[in-house]
Homo-oligomer: A and B are copies of this chain.
Amino acid sequence: MATVPLLSDAAAGAEALAVFDDIRAKRQTDYVNNFWRALAGDPALLRATWERLQVVMAPGALDPLVKEMVYLAVSTANGCSYCVHSHTAAAKARGMTEAQHGELLAVIAMASQTNALATVLGVPVDERFMA
């Protein structure tokens, strides 16, 4: 599939290639995954996305593994198959254990069902939950 070509290094323009090189350098790998190759047809969007991603996912008040698990949770609820695969891999690369993975899935499933229940019941927000 894909609605655009996945650009190889040879096919990518100079701007896109510079981003590919930065991805390789920062991640210390030779591999540039398909998401970036698909974005490479629009080098400005490619760069903006890559730059922002680094800011957002950097260690801070939340550790990078927690951020990856949150990313995976959002990707699941948004039904993004590509993202579910890439961020499961990323979470494992950051040390997610099988036990953590299992609990993460259980929370995602639980939230999905109570989200549906709160919506179908039209539950009004409790006063005390408003800021």
Which A residues fall within an 8 A CB radius of B?
Answer: 1-6, 31, 33-35, 38-39, 41-42, 44-45, 48-49, 52-53, 55-57, 60-62, 66-67, 69-89, 97-126, 128-131
In the complex formed, the residue of B with least CB distance to A80 is B115
How many copies of this kind of chain does the complex include?
A: 6
Contact A85 B1 (CB under 8 A): yes
Contact B115 A112 (CB under 8 A): yes
Contact A122 B3 (CB under 8 A): yes
**A105 shortest CB reach to chain B, Å:** 6
Tell me, in angstroms, the Cα distance from A70 to B67 when the chains sit together: 9
Taking A77-B116, A112-B74 as contacts, is the C-beta distance between A34 and B124 under 8 angstroms? yes
Contact A108 B103 (CB under 8 A): no
